[in-house]
Amino acid sequence: MSVPQVKGFFDPNSHTISYVVFDQDSKQSAVIDSVLDFDYASGAISYDLAEQILAYIQKLDLDVVWHIETHVHADHLSAAPYLQDKVGGQLMISREITEVQKIFGKVFNAGTEFERDGSQFDRLLDDNDSYQLGCFSGRAIHTPGHTPACMAHIIGDAVFVGDTLFMPDGGTARADFPGGDARILYRSIHKILALPDTTRLFVCHDYMPDGRKVAWQTTVGEQRQKNIHIGGNISEDDFAAMREARDASLSMPRLIMPSIQVNMRAGNMPPSEENGEIYLKVPVSGLKG
């Protein structure tokens, strides 16, 4: 039985794993959750991880058909436009991106130039939509809870879960971002856990608990049995209580402000201002008169 080939690329700055998944016969491939390097202090962009992905694609002579964002990331900027310019391919995300755009279009006062209809992306996916990758039929399942636009992608025997699940010793994603909900996250996770035990599962982040080496591949069966947050048939009430208490102790991701502004635009920067420069905004709160 043919299975998709998967190559992971780890970004130590955001603890993100980007993937290239491909059909070995046709060489058709997809790039999932690519990372653009961004130095917040200087505002400098670089392409180190994207170039690693590009070199791998070129080495294997892959035909990039799709670029996939599992959700609007809050911890890194997407490199999808850069890679599309180099190797082609269409960019896909959940149709619920429009909800994220409505929320954060207001937060960043993006104005009328910023369309809230998802038109910045090439294809918007509904729950259970399918697409082709060589001999494999990909299927997107809506997995909200972390964000409204989260999707897991099932390609052959592999499922790419975004931030919904981490490795079993890492648990689950936070659910306190705007539009997040711990109970909805619980139900989304169980959509994934309903897949066959042997299904390969690839996570989007790994924070290396207890100092272990980075890891990003597990199975549905292993998650069901060993995940420290969701394993062992924990109830929805208990999961929600745990998740909400844990989220209340977490700080915001370091790159949340630039990441959301760029990623809600499909990885593109806001338009330049009158002086020709591009600026990213930081809303200020808590000021006292």
Question: Which residues neighbour 236 within 8 Å (Cβ) at sequence distance 6 or greater?
Answer: 183, 186, 187
Q: Which tokens belong to 289? A: 């008169």
Mean pLDDT of the chain: 96
Distance of CA 150 to the CA centre of its chain: 7
At residue 285, the pLDDT reads 83
169-207 pLDDT tens trace? 999 999 999 999 999 999 999 999 999 999 999 999 999
Q: Determine the Cα–Cα distance for residues 288 and 212; give it in Å rounded to an integer.
A: 44
Q: Which tokens belong to 39? A: 């130095």
At residue 112, the pLDDT reads 83
Give the global pTM. Answer: 0.95
**Block residue for tokens 């745990």:** 242
Which residue in 80, 65, 82, 83 sits closest to 27, CA to CA?
65
User: Which domains, and CATH codes, for the chain?
Assistant: 5-261 (3.60.15.10)
Give the rounded percent of residues in the chain with a pLDDT score beyond 90: 94
Q: Determine the Cα–Cα distance for residues 139 and 189; give it in Å rounded to an integer.
A: 16
At residue 270, the pLDDT reads 94
At residue 287, the pLDDT reads 78
Q: What is the largest distance, in Å, between two alpha-carbon atoms of the chain?
A: 68
13-63 pLDDT tens trace? 999 999 999 999 999 999 999 999 999 999 999 999 999 999 999 999 999
Q: Determine the Cα–Cα distance for residues 89 and 84; give it in Å rounded to an integer.
A: 6
At residue 82, the pLDDT reads 98
Between 171 and 2, residue with greater pLDDT: 171
